[in-house]
Structure 1
């Protein structure tokens, strides 16, 4: 079984594990690091896309939803003895500005951010079509964007080793 992941983020609710990268490139960890004062500024790549607010739209999935999909994928393989390819995301898009706004709402902090030039090759919108994984594996994401952001924020707040 092959899974195509769409912007995995989030952490264990008990803060025991999260994205263990000192300098993450994803918007959610970087926005949370900015809220925690671990980044001076959050750079947003482009504000001139053909989207509602000019910033890129992406699909996000919580790491625990991803883990659940892997369990279902193994079960599928053993029961059916066949291969398949599935997209794993929420099927719902959020703009970079939506992420910034949600982080500010959750943390009750204003983020210091700056719009800079687009990154070469970044499309305006990338969303997962999850119909196949929903129907064949019976998988659906359980965690919301708020859950993803809050769990990552809480993990980063309690694990300074990965936040410098």
Structure 2
């Protein structure tokens, strides 16, 4: 019978309808798992196909609410379902959201690393595509926000307020 080396019985893994492993534990606003009996924040449904403008609007609402982990999931849906030529953009935006998530969790190494990786991806996409504001987004401003926040996190060595440090995807809007 499945037991671990410490003698505890291994817990059955949560599975979806296709049998893929899924963690059904509730999560907090930053995506951290909570005990099974805790009240958590509703998770974003996976695999939702949205129009790009809807993706940007929904992600901004989640970022403003201090839920960058959830915004990352919205960007990830666009990355996986969007046109091939835009996948690097959506992946870069997802990295920015994950970087903010880690920075808000107090990960002063991984947060800045992901913020800079996302900034580089967004910059590279904008450079390759020759577009400054796809779907109204201010990519140069997002890149500057990410690099500045990475420095703040490294310098302070402390977690940041995710909602208070949320980027404006469309700039001054």
Normalising by the residue count of structure 1, what TM-score does the alignment of the two structures yield?
0.27
Greater RCO (Cα-Cα under 8 Å, separation 6 or more): 1
Over alpha carbons, which structure has the higher Rg? 2
Question: Higher helix fraction: Structure 1 or Structure 2?
Answer: 2
